[in-house]
Structure formats: C-alpha cells, structure tokens
Chains A and B, each alone.
Chain A
Amino acid sequence: MQKGGSRSEHRLLSVVLLIATFVTLAPVMRLFVEGLTDRTRPGLGLAADVLSQPATLDALRNSLVTAGLGTVISVVLGSAFAFIVALTDLRAKAALVFCLMIPMMIPPQITALSWIQLMGPSSVLLKTLGIAPPLGSAQPLYSPGGIVLLLGIQHMSIVFLTLRAGLRAIPQEVVEAARISGARGLRTWWQVVMPLTLPSLAAGSAITFVTALGNFGIPAMLGIPAGYSTLPTLVYQKLAGMGTGVLAEVSVLAMLIGTVAIAGILAQRFFQTRQRVHLVGSTSRPLAIPLGRARLPVEIALWAVVAAILVLPMFGLVATSLVPAYGVPLRLDTITLQSWAEVLFSQPVTRRAFANSLCLALGVALVLMAMCLPLAWLMSRNPTRLTRLFDSLLDLPYALPGVVLAIAMILLLIDLPLTDATLYGTVWIIFLAYLARFFEVMFRPVQASLKQLDPAMAEAAQSVGAGLSRRMRDVVLPLTAPAAAAGAILVFLTAFNELTVSALLWSSGTETLGVVIFNLEDSGETAMASALAMTIVLVVMVLMGLIQLFSRRFPKGVVPWQT
C-alpha cells in the first residue's frame, strides 16, 4: 500500500522538476537580484547611474531602432511568403519552406560574414566579376542600414512560421463560405483571412522583435567596425575590455535588455491567446486558392527572393574561402583550398573549437534528452499548478537575449557558494548556459509528441504490472524516441553554432566555433573565417536535411518548420 495515486511518479516529478527549475530559471532570478542591488545592498543607485550614461542611452536607442526596423523587413518578407505558401496552389511548397528555414538555422555571424563578402571594395565575388567598387569606398553594410537589412532577413522565418501556423488553423469552410457569398480574390484575403490572422501576425512580430533585440552576431560584425553599438554589443565590449570588474554595471544593462524583451514576450503571449478563439471546423485539407496564370510569375519571384537572400551570400562565402588572400580576385590560377586546409586541419584553435563545440552540443543534447523525456511525460500525467507555472516560464532562457542569460550565468557561477571555486572561465559555465538556453528546444517537441500519445498506452503497461521505470523504458521512451531525436538534432544544431552566449563566457581553451569565426574575421583572416563558416553551413544543411528526411515519421508539431 502506498499514499496517493502514484507516489513514485510524484516523487520522480518533484526531483526532475527541481533540477530543471534550477538549470533554467535560477540564473534569470539571480540576475534580477543583482540588478536591484547597489554595492551588495538593495537599492537602485547603480542602476540609475548606468541608465543615465549617454552610451547606454545611445545603445538602447540603436537597439530599438535596428530591432524595430529589422522586424518591419521580417514582417514584410515573412508574411508575403506565408500568405502565398499557405493560401495558394503554389508548387514545390515543401522545398520552398525548407529553404526559408535555412536563414533561421544559419548563425547570424555567418549571415553577416557572407553578406560582407557580397559587397564592398574587397569582395572577392565582385572583383571576380569585375564590378567591385573602387578601393577606399566604404563597405555599405557597416552601417545601421546594413544591420537592419540582415536582422530582417535573419528573422523572417519566425514571422513566416507563426503566421503560417495561424493560417493553417483557419478552417477551409471559412474561406469557402466567403467565396460562395461572392467575395473574390483579394477581397477574401483582406476581409476574411487577414482579420483572422492578425493575432498570429502580431505575435510573430513581437517575438521577432525580441529575437532581433537580442541578436549579437549581426550588430557585432557590422556595427563594431562602424562604431555603432547596440545593447548586446555594448555589454560585450565592456566585459571584453574591462573584465568582470564591470559585472555589476553590465548586469544593469542586461536587465535593461531583459525588460524590453519581456515586454515583447508578454505582447507575443497576449496575441497568441487571442488567436485561439472561435475557430471551429475542419482544418484537415489545406487551403489552395488557384493562382491561375499568375502562378508561374509568382513562383519565379519567390524563388528569386530565396536566391537573393540565401544562395548569393553563400556564393560570396565560397568565393572568399577559395582565394589565397582576402582581396585577390578568384581566377582559375588563384583558386586554392589553402584556407580550408588551414582552418580544418592546421590551426590548433579551430581544431580545439571544433572539439569544444562538438562536445558541448552533443553533451547538451544528451543531457537535455535525459531530463526532458521523463519531465515532459510526468508533467503531462500529473499536471499541478507548479508544473503549469514551470511550463509558462520555461521559454524565458531561450526567448531572453543570449547576453542576458550569459551575464546571469556569470553572476550565478562566478563564486560557487561555500567554496573558493569558480566555474567562470571553464567550459562548464558554457555547458550549463546551453542547458538553460536550449531546454525549451528539446522540451517542446517531446511535449508535442506526448500530447498525441494515448495515455492508455502507459496505463495498459501499468495494468499488466509494469512499474514506473519499466513503463518509461518499454513504452514511453520508444514511442517518443522520434520526437526526442528530432529535438536532440535541433539542440545540437543550435548549440553547435551558438555565438552570443559563448562570446561572453569563453576563455582561452574553451573557444566555440561561433567565437572562432568571429575572432578570425576580427583579426582579418577573412578567407579562413569564410572556409570555417562554409563548413558550418554545410553541417547545418546536412542535419536539417536529415530531419526533413525523417519528418514523416515524427508526430505533428515536432519539426519546427512543419507545423
């Protein structure tokens, strides 16, 4: 005899939930304590000091401007694609969607690097084609405009995904009813589809703004050379320049970013809940309004945009990686794989970074899988107020800008309680930061697949005598394995490329790939940076292709770009 419905489940749930809470939420809480402290005493004096500095205000304004305008570009591009893909009889939709997802998966510093290769006086591609601007002219991307453009391209997939999910939730009958009543073409779109999707569009814009606000790679690569700081790059420059002595000061900056970001997240949640109302009817068949004769021109236009934002920059990257020195035009007699060989096989730093990123990404993916599987299952079986609270706070470490999480991690781990030890400067601080940041990336696919799992599956095992661990091993694990695998690949993918968090947490010996690309470019080794970036792009595309290949075997909602 035992107490309660299933004590073993409750006990395990409490343990895993405690660990998960510590891993994901403790750093964020620690940061807010620090921000509200003035020289170890509670107070807002320091916060007021930092916030009134002109550099802070400049960076805040720059952040808001670039993130805001970048979001506008994302919304225009992303929603155009979403409406056309979700509503019309376009051909090869799957391929188009896959290509649209690539910008989201390519790390921002590589996006920036590849676009830099496409423009400016020393662009290898332009020189080869003989259309490079004269030497001495400015790189047009080293400007607020360049940051805005690239932020817009980088995050258009977010708008695309949220809006497409919203569009798919519209029952076909709603549109058919409008057409049978005589509404045609754009009128249906404007008067029926548009009002129904406004909430998802607003939600997508809000979260895009938050992501753009936290983006570090693009403003770092484009803004720092132009002396244009946003909040994340300001934090980076302060911390890199003056070390942990300015920790209290940068905490205030991190809190400032965090506050703006949370406002955005709240806006997103508000709109997301608005989306769920009063849509009844079958959504089994997707909408496919015939485009008629306009179909081919529309298809050409869409693929041209994809080529411009995806293929061209990649050409730039490849071209740069194949010349012996930056600035030499690419000809048959100058083509060389020297940079590739150097960066992949000779440079100790890059080899170390490969090993670090690989181990971190693998380790994080495995640990998260081990934590998320039982947690997601137990949370779905024993929902309490506590688990629901955890569920709603879970996305904070991922949604909050990476800079915020990095600072929070430093604060939490720089002095371990009861010891003199510190994790700052070791690889473990990056590992723990990744655990917090990518928890959601692993948890949500598993959760989505468990939602579709018949609870009777586990109960059937229970009724024939299987205890908790056997039920998990023999029934829950095999049935959620595909989702867990997809989640693990996604975690691996994002962790492998991560820059923002590791840029603030690395030290000599614990460089990650993201950091190395950034440093190579920073020190003028553009050819090598391009070769390394291209390698990473290839890894990303192979892994994404792998997920795509098996996507039919995953339950609905597991693969993020197949909502």
Chain B
Amino acid sequence: MADIDLSSVGKDFAGTPALQDITTRFDDGEFIALLGPSGCGKTTLLRLLAGFEMPDRGRIAIGGCDMADAGRGAMVPPEDRNIGFVFQSYALWPHMSVRRNVSYPLEIRRLSRDAIATRTEAALQATGLGDYADRMPSDLSGGQRQRVALARCLVSDPQAVLLDEPLANLDVALRASMQAVFTDFHRRTGATMVYVTHDQSEAMAMADRIAVMDRGRIRQLDTPQNLYERPASRFVAEFVGRGTVVPVQAHDGAGRARILGAEVAVNAAPQSRFVDHVCLRPENLAISETGDLRAKVARVTYLGGKYLLETVLDCGTRLVTETRARFDTGAQLGLTINAPWAFAED
C-alpha cells in the first residue's frame, strides 16, 4: 500500500503537451477517480503512474520511492514497480487459461508451487471465478473477463492498482454490479486505487476523491460532494452535474449578490473575497408564480417521476430545473434562485 506523489509532472506527444504541471498527492488507501472529457490526459497520467510512459518533466514517487524523475532521465520500469493495472480491453492472454492468467504474476515472482496454488485459488474465489478457473478467456463473458483481470492484479498484492476505463466495454446493467465488485475489492484490500473514467456517475459512485481533468491539467481534486456543490471553476461546474454558469452582476462581499437582475444570497468559499460567477443547478431554482425571474419553457424531458425543464429567460439565458408537475412547452413561469454556489472565474 502506498501513497502517490506527483510534482510538476508534464508529458508531451509530438510537441503538444498532453499533461502540464501536475502536482498532487493521492493518499495511501484512497480510491481516486480521474475524470474528464476524452483527450484531457487522464489515460496519459495513468500510464505515467504505471511506467509505460516516461514523464518529460517532473517527478513521480509511489510509496515514498522515486519511480520516475525527468530531471535525471531515470525511471523504474513497469515490471519493477509492483503495481496492478486493469486495462480497458482486459488484456487477458488468450493462450492461457483463467487460472494461468491469474497465477502468472506469481510465477514471475518465483513463488513456491504451493504458494502459487493457494494464492491463485484465493484470488479466484475473491472474484467469484472459482468455477471458471480452467476455462480459456475466449469462453468468458465481458463481466467475467473483467473479473479475471481484477484477480490477476489482486493476486500479487500490488502497492497500488491503476484502472483504465475498466467498465467502458460492458453494458449498463453489468456496470452497476461491477462497480460493487470494485468498491468491495477496494474496501477489502485497502489498496490505493486510481481509476480513469469519462463517466461521472461511475466516478461519483466509487471514488473517495475525484480529479477533474481538462486539457492536461487537474482542475479540481475533491470529494464527489464538494465537486458538485462547491465547484472551483466554470469548467468543473459545467462538467459535473447539470447546471448553468451565469455571471454575477454585483457582489457585496458578504454573501449577497445580484444575478440576472435578482438580489439573492450566495454561498462561496470563505477565503474567496471576490466572486464573479454562480453555478445554478436544478435544485437552486424553485418554480413559483412570484419568482424573481420570468421564463418560458423551451423543452420538457421526462426523467421518470419528475420532469427536466429547459427554460429560456427574457434575456436569452437558458436555465434547467426539475419539477414533479407537468408543464407544456411554451408555458410561462416564475423562477426563484435559492443559495447558489459562487466562485471566481479562472
């Protein structure tokens, strides 16, 4: 088990930076999700941690040991890092049985025959693969393959487990049950886990902290709740959850601001004296006849039990809100803003 330390890490591909100045720390035993749109550098960061790529700048340490140091041009190769890696494509070796796939890491570590058998069996049982041990990977379903990949990285007791969009190739129903497998695995082993995904509900469901990434930088590393309720930037506010970012027209520095012409109380981080934007999530907007803002319903989407309303204000701003009552497209309604989160545009 180990913590992961990155200082000023950067990586270029063909001259264009894929990662820039990443300085952060993942604590021992934490479940971290790297979340971001495609091309944001999350997979590159994961491959740097694994050692498949060498950073062009900065240092990476895992468990207190230097793993890569661009300054000295030195790095520990992946095979010597004792790290587990779960690939999006599973990367099971098609010419080996399930048991051999799982026991292979132990063979490399030259364990005794008995120790290999015991630990392999334990890993197979832990992932519910006991009955499939002698099958070939091609005879397994997607979810079972993913379990084999997990068993393979669990068997050698890695310091940290890195997962590269492991659920991307599974159907929706299977994803939910595999999420439970991963959280269960994390709780039982206490391993530091870094999980790459572009699916925010997946990240929210499993991670202790989420690093939201954009264009090669970590924009915010925080708990799922904080990311949603207290985004630090416009990108995070718009990327995580539904919501509209609107400018603050005036701010008195003591919790009141004018937004879209209405005077409302806002929340903000205590240290930020200056804010210029607020994030309006559906729960920050209440529908009332006497609302401060007049809006017209532009689109209604049924979400099951409630409706998502896309409304347009007279000034052209689009706001989304949720309601249990049904409205028709074109209906006029009043909206009241209720304690939105305010932040300074980065």
Chain A positions near chain B (C-beta within 8 angstroms): 1-8, 454, 456-457, 459-467, 470, 474-475, 478-479
Residues of B within 8 A of A460 (CB): 85, 87, 91-93, 149, 152
A212 → B minimal CB distance (Å): 42
> A464-B108, A465-B109, A470-B108 are contacts. A459–B87 as well, Cβ < 8 Å?
yes
A459 pairs with B78, CB closer than 8 A: yes
Of B53, B69, B81, B95, the residue contacting A479 (CB under 8 A) is: B95
Q: Which residue of B lies closest to A456 (CB)?
A: B91
Residues of A within 8 A of B66 (CB): 1
A465 pairs with B156, CB closer than 8 A: yes
Of A5, A463, A470, A478, the residue contacting B54 (CB under 8 A) is: A5
Whether B305 sits at the interface, judged by CB under 8 Å, is no
Within 8 A of A (CB), among B89-113: 89, 91-95, 104-105, 108-109
> A460-B85, A465-B105, A466-B108 are contacts. A3–B79 as well, Cβ < 8 Å?
no
Chain B 56-87 near chain A by CB (<8 Å), digits 1 or 0: 00000000001001001111111111111101
Residues of A within 8 A of B75 (CB): 1-5
B115 → A minimal CB distance (Å): 15
Of B52, B80, B94, the residue contacting A465 (CB under 8 A) is: B80
* Selected A-B contacts with CB under 8 Å, 9 pairs: A1-B72, A5-B53, A454-B91, A460-B85, A463-B50, A463-B78, A464-B104, A474-B104, A479-B95
A456 pairs with B53, CB closer than 8 A: no
A3 pairs with B104, CB closer than 8 A: no
B54 pairs with A456, CB closer than 8 A: no
Cα–Cα, bound, A470→B104 (Å)? 11
> A463-B83, A465-B82 are contacts. A2–B76 as well, Cβ < 8 Å?
yes
Q: Which of B51, B91, B94, B152 has the most CB of A within 10 A?
A: B91
A68 → B minimal CB distance (Å): 44
Whether B227 sits at the interface, judged by CB under 8 Å, is no
Cα–Cα, bound, A5→B80 (Å)? 13
Q: Which residue of B lies closest to A459 (CB)?
A: B52
Other 20 A-B pairs with CB < 8 A, given A6-B77, A456-B88: A1-B66, A2-B75, A2-B76, A5-B75, A459-B52, A459-B87, A460-B152, A462-B77, A462-B78, A463-B50, A463-B79, A463-B162, A464-B108, A464-B152, A465-B80, A465-B156, A466-B108, A467-B79, A474-B104, A478-B93
B257 → A minimal CB distance (Å): 50
Q: Which residue of A lies closest to B72 (CB)?
A: A1
Q: Which residue of A lies closest to B155 (CB)?
A: A464
Cα–Cα, bound, A4→B78 (Å)? 12
Chain B positions near chain A (C-beta within 8 angstroms): 50-54, 66, 69, 72-85, 87-89, 91-95, 104-105, 108-109, 149, 152-153, 156, 162
Top 7 A-B residue pairs of the complex, sorted by shortest distance between their CB atoms: A464-B105, A456-B91, A463-B85, A460-B91, A1-B74, A456-B87, A462-B78
B96 → A minimal CB distance (Å): 8
Of A7, A459, A463, A470, the residue contacting B153 (CB under 8 A) is: A463
Residues of B within 8 A of A478 (CB): 93, 95
B153 pairs with A456, CB closer than 8 A: no
Residues of A within 8 A of B73 (CB): 3-4
Cα–Cα, bound, A86→B133 (Å)? 44
Residues of B within 8 A of A463 (CB): 50, 78-79, 81, 83-85, 153, 162
> A461-B104, A463-B153, A479-B95 are contacts. A2–B85 as well, Cβ < 8 Å?
no
Cα–Cα, bound, A454→B94 (Å)? 11
> A2-B77, A464-B108 are contacts. A459–B91 as well, Cβ < 8 Å?
yes
Of B76, B84, B149, the residue contacting A1 (CB under 8 A) is: B76
Q: Which residue of A lies closest to B50 (CB)?
A: A463
A533 → B minimal CB distance (Å): 41
Cα–Cα, bound, A8→B162 (Å)? 24
Cα–Cα, bound, A479→B137 (Å)? 14
A462 pairs with B79, CB closer than 8 A: yes
Cα–Cα, bound, A479→B91 (Å)? 12
Residues of B within 8 A of A470 (CB): 108
Cα–Cα, bound, A2→B69 (Å)? 10
B89 pairs with A2, CB closer than 8 A: no
Residues of A within 8 A of B76 (CB): 1-2
A378 → B minimal CB distance (Å): 15
B2 → A minimal CB distance (Å): 15
B324 → A minimal CB distance (Å): 46
B289 → A minimal CB distance (Å): 55
Residues of A within 8 A of B82 (CB): 465
Residues of B within 8 A of A5 (CB): 52-54, 75
Q: Which residue of B lies closest to A3 (CB)?
A: B73
Of B83, B88, B93, B105, the residue contacting A457 (CB under 8 A) is: B93
Residues of B within 8 A of A464 (CB): 79, 84, 104-105, 108, 152-153, 156
> A463-B83, A466-B108 are contacts. A479–B94 as well, Cβ < 8 Å?
yes
Residues of A within 8 A of B94 (CB): 479
Cα–Cα, bound, A478→B100 (Å)? 14
Residues of A within 8 A of B162 (CB): 463
Cα–Cα, bound, A23→B103 (Å)? 40
Cα–Cα, bound, A466→B156 (Å)? 12
B91 pairs with A457, CB closer than 8 A: yes
A358 → B minimal CB distance (Å): 31
Cα–Cα, bound, A466→B79 (Å)? 6
Residues of A within 8 A of B108 (CB): 464-466, 470
B68 → A minimal CB distance (Å): 9
A468 → B minimal CB distance (Å): 8
B154 → A minimal CB distance (Å): 11
Cα–Cα, bound, A475→B105 (Å)? 13
Residues of A within 8 A of B89 (CB): 454, 456
Cα–Cα, bound, A8→B77 (Å)? 10
B243 → A minimal CB distance (Å): 36
Of A3, A8, A474, A479, the residue contacting B74 (CB under 8 A) is: A3
Residues of A within 8 A of B84 (CB): 463-464
Cα–Cα, bound, A167→B19 (Å)? 43
A460 → B minimal CB distance (Å): 4
B136 → A minimal CB distance (Å): 13
Residues of B within 8 A of A479 (CB): 93-95
A122 → B minimal CB distance (Å): 57
Q: Which residue of A lies closest to B95 (CB)?
A: A478
Cα–Cα, bound, A29→B72 (Å)? 40
B85 pairs with A459, CB closer than 8 A: yes
Q: Which of B79, B82, B93 has the most CB of A within 10 A?
A: B79
Cα–Cα, bound, A1→B66 (Å)? 9
Cα–Cα, bound, A466→B93 (Å)? 13
Residues of B within 8 A of A3 (CB): 73-75
Cα–Cα, bound, A2→B81 (Å)? 12
B63 → A minimal CB distance (Å): 15
A57 → B minimal CB distance (Å): 51
A63 → B minimal CB distance (Å): 46
B127 → A minimal CB distance (Å): 16
Cα–Cα, bound, A6→B52 (Å)? 8
Residues of A within 8 A of B109 (CB): 465
Cα–Cα, bound, A231→B102 (Å)? 61
Q: Which of A457, A464, A474 has the most CB of B within 10 A?
A: A464
Cα–Cα, bound, A236→B85 (Å)? 60
Residues of B within 8 A of A459 (CB): 50, 52, 78, 85, 87, 91
Q: Which residue of A lies closest to B164 (CB)?
A: A456
Cα–Cα, bound, A45→B45 (Å)? 63
Q: Which residue of B lies closest to A458 (CB)?
A: B91
Residues of A within 8 A of B153 (CB): 463-464
